[in-house]
Amino acid sequence: MRRVPPYEPVDRSQAFPALEVEILERWRERDVFHESIRRREGAEPFVFYEGPPTANGRPGSHHVLSRVFKDVFSRYRTMRGRLVHRKGGWDCHGLPVELEVEKKLGFQSKEDIERYGVAEFNAQCRESVLRYIDEWNELTERIGFWLDTDDAYYTLDDSYIESVWWSLKQVFDQGLLYEGHKVVPYCPRCGTALSSHEVAQGYKEVVDPSAYVRFGVRGEEGVSFLGWTTTPWTLVSNAALAVHPDVTYVRAQVGEETLILAEALAERVLGEGIETSDPVKGADLEGTAYEPPFPYIADYGEHGHTVLLADFVTTDDGTGVVHTAVAFGEDDFRLGEAYGLEVQNPVLGDGTFDERAGPFAGRGVKEADPDILEALRDAGRLYRAEDYEHSYPHCWRCETPLIYYAKSSWYVRTTERKEELLAANEAVEWHPGHIKHGRFGKWLENNVDWALSRERYWGTPLPIWRSDDGEEVVCVSSRAELAELGADVPEDLHRPFVDDVTFEHNGKTMRRVPDLIDVWWDSGCMPFAQWHAPFENGEKFEQRFPADYICEALDQTRGWFYSLLAVSTLLYGRASFETVLCLGLILDGEGQKMSKSKGNVVVPWDVLDTHGADALRWYYFTSKQPWDGYRFSLEAVGESVRQFIKTLWNTYGFMVLYANVNDVGTAALEEVDLTDIDRWALSRLQETTEIAIERLDDYDTTVAGRAIAALVEDLSNWYVRRSRRRFWDGDPAAFATLRECLLGVAKLAAPLTPFVTDAIYGNLDGAEPSVHLCDYPEPDPALRDVGLEWQMSLVREAVGLGLAARAHVKLKVRQPLREAIVVAGGREREAIGRFEGLLLEELNVKSVRYVSEADELGRFELKPNYRSLGPRFGSQMPQVAAAVGGLDADAAARTLRDGGEVHVAIGGHDHALGADDIQMALRPLEGYEVERSGSHAVALDVTIDDTLRREGVAREVVHAVQNARKQAGLDVADRIDLSLGGDAAVLAAVREHEDYLLGETLAVSVDLSGAETGARAEIEGLELLIGVSRV
């Protein structure tokens, strides 16, 4: 039902958070979200994938950021006619969840968990992971993120796990799933390896001890290799030294001793002017035997404790002699393989030394660093120790420094499909564009195999069963397959139940490999696993693959963006998303990273309670390009309320106030006589609509939102300001125009600020239960008038110039002036003429006089228009500029304004220049009140005769009476009896302009015999007494 006046009165000091709560209630009552989807049944889908958050912590500002950007384009596409399903999802597995439970139970290690019982531990995890799901859902609703939370997917569901198993089987069948022995980043606290994208999340600046260590050359007393390391604990298992074959090494004399190191680094390490001798190539050092720093482990084979050659050695830092511990570095490990070194790993899974490490046995490796240095010092092997600041990877969840550690793990051989990954990325549209071939593309190019397995408890079990002798390996793709193999399939596919599942295969007993898989693989399976595809809902999956749009923060480049791309490329040969929007970090108002420890975290609820969801959304959408990151604060959001929402609300409130006062109906635009300024406002609406569609289609809320804000600004500060009288008088054209524009704005901005726009729409129209069930506006070419927009901008400039001129002579606008003189030729004169009344009113002048030439006001200066002449004359531009400068300016100006051409001679040739080729600037003459801008200028006749003065006084009186009305608490529509007294000159002026006074102040009568009581005012130093009484 379309609403007609009287409208609901608008509270102009409306608190928006309260308004939003009302709107939320309305949405619930009317089931608007689901209705908006039902209405698009059968329409072309726009597919959105929800990147599942983990609900075991409270949602923060950065979560709100991605959630509103997920929302805005879903809403926009829905209004544009697409069917947009929005299935929620929750990431349930993995270390973060285990950690929370461990913390709660006071556990320190995996043994604690084993002792406690895996079944009970996982039950706790299941409970813990959704601990904050209610708050998440509440926040999701409060910020206006329309998401189907009732029908969300959970990665812990058996159906989800089964789909993940299926995906692994596909990979297994392609021969891409393998067990490998490699050095991996390993968290000793969590007791598990991490994938490279997990490692990527945890780099931190730290200060580690670094040590320069002597490795005594066997058989040469007093001669040592000088090695350098930032991980002293690995010296316990030193197996060899590595030098670069092509680097020059020298012997440096330091006191009594001789140190061998790279020539290029000798001075930096040992000090300037160090004596060196005997330069040799690294290649010549191969095989040199030396004394290991610690004697505990000796058996590294034939090449143990000798110098080896390696290309990875650099002379960027250290000494050019690299200490090699086979088990603790990727390069070291490969070098060890090449030389056949025995792998000796004296470090246990919990990060402590085993009994092979002599006195350090049982110590955590990092903690042992200082004692190890001390032992070296005592043994005379430490040359120097110092602090070294560098960034080092830490466990992304428990913050323990990682160690690189040789162990076996299951991998997905993504490197074999690298070309396909790159090709899949080519098809993706990234916002911002540079991520595609920058951060993400470079990462793909350096792709390494995906370390898939985790030796943990709460996660998707690796579905691989193996015979005890390792001969037979089966990857299981489903419950059904497991049953077919003769196993008892447990209800719950998690550990520990799945660990008990065994079956016979080729006469051998098959037991499950106890590992879990990386949770990122879980999330990468979401396109099909959310539907339990391919086991069911196959057609749904087909329809909703790939996603048109996904959106997450930049830190997901190596997280979800990668897992989605990799899984679907391996399975389907393409990316599972077509467009991705990357959002930046949220910093505090000072540009510092928000962190609990700093106490500078802005809690979303605070912002919502203070300014509301629209304000927060508007801030995120329009304050800047979202990928650059935000300097976020309550104040910053407050500013966005004032600038946009408050302005919109005031304009809307103004219209409702006078629509109700005047009892005007809602006439259609076709039924009223539009004025030029109406046509201008409507044209601006079309222009804005065009921009909004063009920008939102390109996932750009920033420019779209700013364009809408500019329209609102124009409506408020120009259209309404210039049309006030028509609203007071109830002019139907004005109301029809403003209503049309406000409804247009409501629809244009509905996806961005869904609450306030729905309130406005509901009151001014209400034909639909909600603005969100409307179609997005289309620009109407019939209402667009570009010429009119140009003309209006010219008039506004002229008004600005005139007001500036007034300001300079300090003449109040209230004081009428005789004449404004406007310099304008041809088209410009026509433009201003069209809105002359407006100019007269704004400047409060009696008449406008146009002059084409500037003789009265100043002199023209001519300048070449570089933009048009530059391409034409190129390097001859200096001559052109000189020639133009030499023209008779006034004559040329006259010619050009009449559409003629002027001629200049350049390089002996004659060239014709038109109006577009020459810019005319006005230089004002001394002694005139002239304001100029380019070729435009406005001057004021500032002589004030008595007539004008009396008129000015009358206006002052009106002003004073209005104040008195307000003080008396009268309503804007109240009629009054007015009585005035005071200075005779003032009263004379009033008498002369009595009708004007009556009209302006809504007085039905005026008594000039003097007010006994009432307000006292002063007009140009003369007394005025005002009595006001309501009729």
Among 340, 322, 339, smallest CA distance to 282 is for: 322
Q: Least CB distance from residue 1020 to RNA, whole Å?
A: 11
| Widest CA span in the chain | 125
3-state secondary structure of 389: strand
- Cα(965)–Cα(970) distance, rounded to whole angstroms? 6
**Minimal CA–CA distance to 75: which of 108, 18, 32?**
32
Nearer to RNA, 167 or 425 (CB): 425
Nearer to RNA, 162 or 332 (CB): 332
CB of 543 to RNA, least distance (A): 34
Task: From 660, 434, 664, 655, select the one nearest 554 (Cα to Cα).
Answer: 434
CB of 63 to RNA, least distance (A): 17
Q: Which is nearer to RNA, 40 or 993 (CB)?
A: 993
Contact 855, 925 (CB under 8 A): no
SS3 193: strand
Give the whole-angstrom CA distance, residue 229 versus residue 604: 45
Beta strands in 5-78 (DSSP E): none
In whole angstroms, what is the distance from residue 32 CA to residue 758 CA?
11
Q: Are strands 257-262 and 223-229 parallel, antiparallel or unpaired?
A: parallel
Nearer to RNA, 444 or 570 (CB): 444
As a whole number of angstroms, the distance between CA 379 and CA 240 comes to: 19
Residues 1014, 979: contact at Cβ < 8 Å? yes
Q: What is the DSSP letter of 846?
A: E
DSSP SS3 for 155: coil
> How far is residue 147's CA from residue 68's CA, in Å, rounded to a whole number?
11
Helices 721-728 and 836-843 cross at an angle (nearest 10°) of: 100
Shortest Cβ 670–RNA spacing (Å): 26
Judged by beta carbon, residue 771 or residue 843, the one nearer RNA is: 843
The answer for residues whose C-beta is within 8 angstroms of residue 55's C-beta and 6 or more apart is 90, 129, 130, 131, 132, 133, 136
Cβ-in-10-Å burial (0-12, 13-18, 19+) of 725 comes to exposed
Task: Report the distance separating Cα 390 and Cα 375, nearest Å.
Answer: 25
Q: Taking the C-alpha atoms of 369, 373, 376 and 377 in order, what is their torsion angle to the nearest 10 degrees?
A: -160
Considering the complex, state which of residue 438 and residue 573 has its C-beta at the smaller distance from RNA. 438
What whole-number distance in Å separates Cα of residue 473 and Cα of residue 401? Answer: 35
Measured from the CB atom, the residue of 554 and 913 that comes closer to RNA is 554
Q: Is the peptide bond before 534 cis (omega within 30 degrees of 0)?
A: yes
The H-assigned helical ranges of 588-675 are 604-610, 613-622, 634-640, 647-662
Measured in degrees and rounded to the nearest 5, phi and psi for residue 65 equal -55, -55
| Token reading at 539 | 């057609």
Smallest distance from RNA to CB 657, Å: 7
Element (H, E) at 289: none
Q: How far is the CB of 250 from RNA (least distance, A)?
A: 22
Between 21 and 585, CB nearer to RNA: 585
Q: Which segments of 237-320 are extended strands (E)?
A: 240-243, 248-254, 257-262, 275-281, 307-309
CA–CA dist 517, 512 (Å, integer):
13
Nearer to RNA, 298 or 807 (CB): 807
CB of 280 to RNA, least distance (A): 26
Residues acting as catalytic residues? 52, 91, 520, 556, 560, 593, 596
CB of 832 to RNA, least distance (A): 17
DSSP annotation of 490 reads P
- CA dihedral of 967, 971, 972, 974, whole degrees rounded to 10: -110
- Comparing CB distances to RNA, the nearer of 467 and 650 is 650
The beta strand positions in 452-494, using DSSP E, are 453-454, 464-467, 473-475
Tokens of 259: 């140190």
Shortest Å, Cβ 992 to RNA = 18
Which alpha helices (H) appear in 174-284, and where do they start and end?
Answer: 196-199, 263-270
Residue type, 576: S
> Can you tell me the distance from the alpha carbon of 709 to that of 697, in angstroms, rounded to the nearest whole number?
18
Whole-angstrom Cα distance, residue 17 to residue 645?
Answer: 12
Q: Smaller CB distance to RNA: residue 669 or 877?
A: 877
Rank residues 118 and 803 by Cβ distance to RNA and give the closer one.
803
Cβ distance to RNA smaller for residue 899 or 934: 934
The token pair that represents 956 in the structure block:
């002052």
Q: Are 899 and 826 in contact (CB under 8 A)?
A: yes
